[in-house]
Amino acid sequence: MTRRQVTLQPNSSSSSTSSTTCAGASTDSRNASYSPFTEDHASPTPLAMRTTIPPQPSDKSRVQLISTSVLIPGRGKPRHDMTVVVRDALIHAIHPTSALPAFLQHHSLPATHVPVLLPGLWDCHTHFLGTKSLNLSEVVSTHAAVAGARLARNARDILLSGFTSVRDLGGYAIELSKAISESSLPGPNIYSAASAISQTSGHGDLFDLPVDVAHSRLSTTCPNAGSYPLLLADGADACRMAVRLVTRRGAKCVKVFASGGVLSILDDPLHAQYSAGELEAIVDEAARAGLAVAAHCHGKAGILAALRAGCHTIEHGTYLDAECVEVMLAKGAVLVPTRTVVKVGVDHPELMSPESYVKMLETAKYHRAAYRLAVRSGVKIALGTDLGISVPVDNPLALGRSGGELSYAVTDGGMTPLQAIEAATAMGPETLGHLGAAPKSGQIREGYDADLIALCANPLDDIAGDGGGGGGGGGGGGGGGGGMELFKDPQNVTHVWKGGVCYKSP
């Protein structure tokens, strides 16, 4: 694959002619200043929950055309030979290319043609930690300036790989998003939980530190409480304070550890964490702030406790069974399976402690079967990776390597390619719930954010090799990935637009 030149700063007008050797994408730049929409138009300031795009300085509308041979809308069937009209930061209209309105045909506008156009992708489970390893104690030993410098590179890599939006479920993404929104650096739209909330001795505790040291950095009463990616809270009142602390920091969702985990040394993924009263306090306090709650859950007990308390998303869902599925369907909850961290973790024991690797192997035995059961049963699913390492960037768990999750959704989860794309696009905003103003994103529809990506080839080709529909139980083999393998290599993403601004082109 020929390496493409990447636009590191926003290029809203596509002011130079370019082409790609991948699949014939080209840019036709004509009169970038002309707009058929003649009324004065100041771009609206976006709602905090809707987008991180800053207001545009021009008092005139900015219009561009993006034509494509294949349009994959995010939800629904592909359409052929279509043109998307982008006005400022939003999708204004969608027309068959052969039937463009006369005023669009007769006036020069910036125009780009791409082979395949999709909504920008969502990674619904990331951690912007700025660390070099999976050792959770690095969270408190890494200086914030060092973490921020590393994360600036990660943010760029994420965006240029085609992921225009992410949920950060414990990290420094809130602070990073401020630099992105003021155009100090390129990066995705970020919807962060700020600090992930854990009980003492829970998945978010630092077991290799004395308890007083851990509490001096991470408790709800310590100096600068809530400023780290982890937050320890015990008892209903402290849990409410924890939610208020992350809300004060600017959280767009809330993250709670409702079961043990793999990387935490002394807890058990099968064991539930937090009492029913504590979980209910977290969900109630979050609801009053208009925030949905994401629950880290491996074991069945933790999954059911989180669902009964009202948590909106289940992260991982390793031991999910028929009873869990029944409750998820009744509650309308969303599963974020995070297959990437399981696949990579099993293949790379050097990335974690021996104790954690034993737990990784044990949970991996059940994860695929649970994933396929959820798909087969019609549970709502959004894709997320659980990536969180910052450097080196070629680490298999480094931020910016999210594309494999779509392929795993087909080969391991049993989704069709279109289902996998929907889970990585249209389902993204649904992880933020309906309590607040979730963004109009993840679909190519009129009035939605103009977050778009182009691929050099069609990921729906070679569907027979992708594993097809619902598939069987956890033990059967999947397909070879087929066209969905395109998403694994960021070089196959030829263009990236976020809020109508082009950040990557050939």
CATH code (residue 106) = 2.30.40.10
Is the same domain home to 375 and 470?
no
**CA–CA gap between residue 253 and residue 265 (Å, rounded):** 27
183 and 98 in a common domain: no
- Together in a domain, 203 and 72: no
DSSP helix/strand/coil, 19: strand
Beta-strand ranges (E) seen in 39-87 are 63-71, 79-87
Is 315 a member of any domain?
A: yes
Inter-axis angle of helices 300-309 and 322-331, nearest 10? 20
CA-angle at 139, arms to 137 and 140, nearest 5°: 80
Q: Which of 177, 33, 12 is nearest to 88 (CA)?
A: 12
pLDDT at 462: 66
Q: How many residues does the chain have?
A: 506
Give the pLDDT score at 222.
94
Asked if 304 and 175 sit in the same domain, the reply is yes
What is the C-alpha separation between 380 and 467, in angstroms, rounded?
19
Q: Is residue 437 part of a domain?
A: no
Asked whether the bond before 429 is cis by omega within 30 degrees of 0, the reply is no
pLDDT for the residue 22: 52
Residue 502: closest CA among 3, 15, 1, 107: 15
Q: Are residues 240 and 229 in the same domain?
A: yes
Q: Clarify whether residues 54 and 128 are in a common domain.
A: no
Burial 121-147 (b: 16+ CB within 10 A, else e): bbbbbbbbbbbbbbebebbbebeeeeb
**Residue at a domain's end among 407, 432, 457:** 432
For residue 1, being part of any structural domain is answered with no
Interatomic CA distance for residues 306 and 312, integer angstroms: 9
User: Which stretches does DSSP call E strand in 254-392?
Assistant: 254-257, 293-297, 313-316, 334-336, 380-381, 387-389
How many CA atoms lie within 13 Å of 420's alpha carbon, on the beta-carbon side? 33
Are 56 and 28 within one domain?
yes
Mean pLDDT per 10-residue interval, the chain, length 506 residues: 44 43 43 34 37 43 94 98 98 96 84 98 98 91 94 98 98 96 96 98 94 94 94 99 98 98 95 98 97 98 99 99 99 98 97 96 98 99 98 94 98 98 98 82 98 97 49 36 84 98 97
Could you tell me if 399 and 491 lie in one domain? no
| CATH of residue 311 | 3.20.20.140
Q: With contact defined as beta carbons under 8 Å apart, do 256 and 344 qualify?
A: no
Q: Answer yes or no: is 488 within a domain.
A: yes
**Other beta carbons within 10 Å of 471:** 21
Q: How many CB atoms lie within 10 A of CB 370?
A: 25
Q: Are residues 213 and 251 in the same domain?
A: yes
Same domain, yes or no, for 308 and 356? yes
Dig out the tokens for 71 from the structure: 């349009």
Note whether 87 and 205 are same-domain residues. no
Domain contains 163: yes
Q: How many CB atoms lie within 10 A of CB 484?
A: 29
Cβ neighbours of residue 76 under 8 Å, at least 6 residues apart? none
Domain that holds residue 477: 18-119+445-504
Among 386, 449, 451, 466, the one annotated catalytic = 386
Domain match, 490 and 381 both: no
Strands annotated E in 230-350: 230-232, 254-257, 293-297, 313-316, 334-336
Residue 58 in domain? yes
Known active-site residue 59: no
- Of the residues 432, 460, 494, the one at which a domain ends: 432
Which of the residues 252, 255, 359, 504 is marked catalytic? 255
473 close to 121: Cβ distance less than 8 angstroms: no
The domain tally of the chain equals: 2
439 burial (CB, 10 Å; 0-12 / 13-18 / 19+) is buried
Q: Which among 432, 454, 479 is the end of a domain?
A: 432
Cα distances (angstroms) measured from residue 347 to each of 37, 391, 414: 54, 19, 21
Whole-angstrom Cα distance, residue 184 to residue 177? 10
386 is annotated as an active-site residue = yes
pLDDT at 10: 56
Is the residue at 139 inside a domain? yes
3-state secondary structure of 260: coil
- Residue 208 region, left (φ>0) first, then alpha (ψ -120 to 50), else beta? alpha
State how far the Cα of 383 lies from the Cα of 371, in Å rounded to an integer: 11
Which run of H or E residues covers position 92? strand 90-96
Q: Write out the two tokens for 334.
A: 């969303």
Q: Is residue 476 part of a domain?
A: yes
- What pLDDT is attached to residue 61? 77
Q: Note if the pTM is more than 0.85.
A: yes
Q: 32: buried, middle or exposed (CB in 10 Å: 19+, 13-18, 0-12)?
A: middle
CA distances from 261 to 242, 302, 335 (A): 20, 11, 17
DSSP helix/strand/coil, 195: coil
Is 216 strand, coil or helix?
helix
